[in-house]
Chain A
């Protein structure tokens, strides 16, 4: 089956620093990747849709300058949380699809970010 990896699986950083999270499709080419944020015991909240070679489409209320997304290749998308603050602490999950019309989204294992 389709495998998506995320790195790192967890990260602790100081307030004011930037953190980069990588999302890779390991055995398929992902035309589209998605970034989600999830708070404890809540549903996934879509942050942005990332298409290879083009600018990401952000959901309403998501700060583009704070959450920088780059989809440089068909197997890699990155999310950079800039000038992180404690309220950015969350579980971040990416997913990927190949682009076929009935495609399933396959999810990465997630990254737990803690900002001190």
Chain B
């Protein structure tokens, strides 16, 4: 069963507008962490934002915020005021802190975001 699901293979957004990238997850662990990474065409994976399962507030980092809805098991990334440099592939990932905590990340399929001028 897919543990991390990103249902949007590709997204377009107009420059300066906000965009939401969807991510749903599946885990039986009570303790887990959710991550978003950006991968531009150069290939490097850039860490954007982290949300812990026990965090009560939604995480924010500059123009990035994570809309965490625990009951729905969703962790959507919101990018405000999109810039041309935001065009990239975005990955949602989860780390489970349970008994099998190996530090491994489980990645979603990714969403390609294109920002239009």
Residues A106 and B47 in contact in the complex (CB < 8 Å), given A44-B91, A57-B102, A97-B103: yes
Shortest distance from the beta carbon of B50 to any chain A beta carbon, whole Å: 6
Cβ of B104 and Cβ of A104 under 8 Å apart? Answer: no
Interface presence of A77 (CB below 8 A): no
Q: Are A109 and B42 in contact (CB under 8 A)?
A: yes
With contacts A43-B91, A104-B50 known, is A110 near B43, CB below 8 A?
Answer: yes
Q: CA A116 – CA B21 in complex, angstroms? A: 38
The residue on A at minimum CB distance from B89 is A41
B112 interface residue (CB < 8 Å to A): yes
In this complex, the interface size class of chain A, counting residues with CB under 8 Å from chain B, is 20 to 34
Is B109 in the interface zone, CB < 8 Å from A?
A: yes
We find that the number of chain B residues with CB closer than 8 angstroms to chain A is 25
| Chain A 29-62 per-residue mask, 1 if CB under 8 angstroms from chain B, else 0 | 0001010001001111010010000000100000
Spell out B's residues near A (CB within 8 Å): 33, 35, 37, 42-47, 50, 52, 89, 91, 95, 97, 101-105, 107-110, 112
Interface CB pairs A-B, < 8 A, 27 = A32-B103, A34-B103, A34-B104, A34-B105, A41-B89, A42-B109, A42-B110, A43-B109, A44-B91, A46-B105, A49-B103, A93-B43, A95-B45, A99-B103, A101-B97, A101-B101, A103-B103, A104-B35, A104-B50, A105-B35, A105-B103, A107-B37, A107-B44, A107-B47, A109-B43, A110-B43, A110-B44
Binding site for B on A (CB under 8 A): 32, 34, 38, 41-44, 46, 49, 57, 91, 93, 95, 97, 99, 101-110, 112
